[in-house]
Structure 1
Amino acid sequence: MEKITSRIITIIFIAIFLFQSFKDERAVAHTKKSRTTNNSAMVSRVIDGDTIELSTGEKVRYIGINTPETVHPSKAVQCFGEEAAAKNKELVLGKEVILKKDVSNKDKYGRLLRYVYLNDGTMVNNLLVKNGYAFASAYPPDIKYQLTFESSEKEARENNLGLWENICDYTDAK
């Protein structure tokens, strides 16, 4: 009887140990998954006004906006493109940003499609539009904040900010 009790206790301890090990492993996996879901990343390079490269090498295209071109292979540098790229660089280069997905994961060029946030909660996509560095540009199905971007663009136009400052002829742009 004593041998049986001893074996049962040993089996219980082994079961508890294995369960605890499995639980710890799941906690580590959950933490890793949470980091991935949260999608914070370091910006290592600003490609232009609406595209960045992360320290992982992945490129991110800002959702819902478009800035004048500076690096397009078949287009000339557009008016206010350099300023938009410089502003984007000032905002995010060398900083950790938070990336949030809408519907689509990547565009046809393999870039991640994301809303990009500074650590203080500021959405970079909208800040660029609001200050006249970018246009609101809807690309369904990724339109979660499109009304916000359109409102910000209207405000920038009315206040002649950035590319709306009569430097560039974007009067018909949309």
Structure 2
Amino acid sequence: MVDGDTVDVVDDVRGRLRVRVLGLDTPETKRRGYAVACWGPEATAFATATLQNQRVALIADAGQDARDRYGRTYLH
């Protein structure tokens, strides 16, 4: 878990991917120079409890580019 809406996953074919989870919006919790935003820790805790050490299916969003401006893969 990188933060509440960004996770590192290990893909069986492509190896490690940094993924932006669409539909999960987490306020900042780890960005340098920024205060921890309201509900950020709770959103991160939810994402961690839901996603960490789980096998997931990665589904591309045809309406998005393959990667965002931070190099994260856009997937559901």
TM-score (norm 1): 0.37
The CA deviation string for residues 74-111 of structure 1, in whole angstroms up to 9 with x for no partner, is: 42211111111111010010111111111321101110
Greater Rg over alpha carbons, structure: 1
Runs of 4 or more off by more than 4 Å in structure 1? Answer: none
**Residue of structure 1 in register with 2:4 after alignment:** 49
- 1:48, 1:84 within 8 Å by CA — same for their partners in 2? no
State how far apart, in whole Å, the 2-side matches of 1:95 and 1:66 are.
Answer: 20
State how far apart, in whole Å, the 1-side matches of 2:8 and 2:47 are.
Answer: 12
Higher relative contact order (CA 8 A, sep 6+): 2
Q: CA RMSD in A?
A: 1.4
- The alignment partner of 1:96 has SS state of coil
81, 100, 108: which one aligns with 2:40:
81
Residues 74, 101 of structure 1: CA spacing in aligned structure 2 closer, same or farther, 3 A cutoff? farther
Identity percentage over the alignment?
Answer: 36
- The alignment partner of 1:100 has SS state of coil
State how far apart, in whole Å, the 1-side matches of 2:40 and 2:51 are.
Answer: 17
- The alignment partner of 2:49 has SS state of helix
TM-score (norm 2): 0.80
Gap runs ≥5 in structure 2: none
Alpha-carbon shift at residue 48 of structure 1 (Å):
1.4
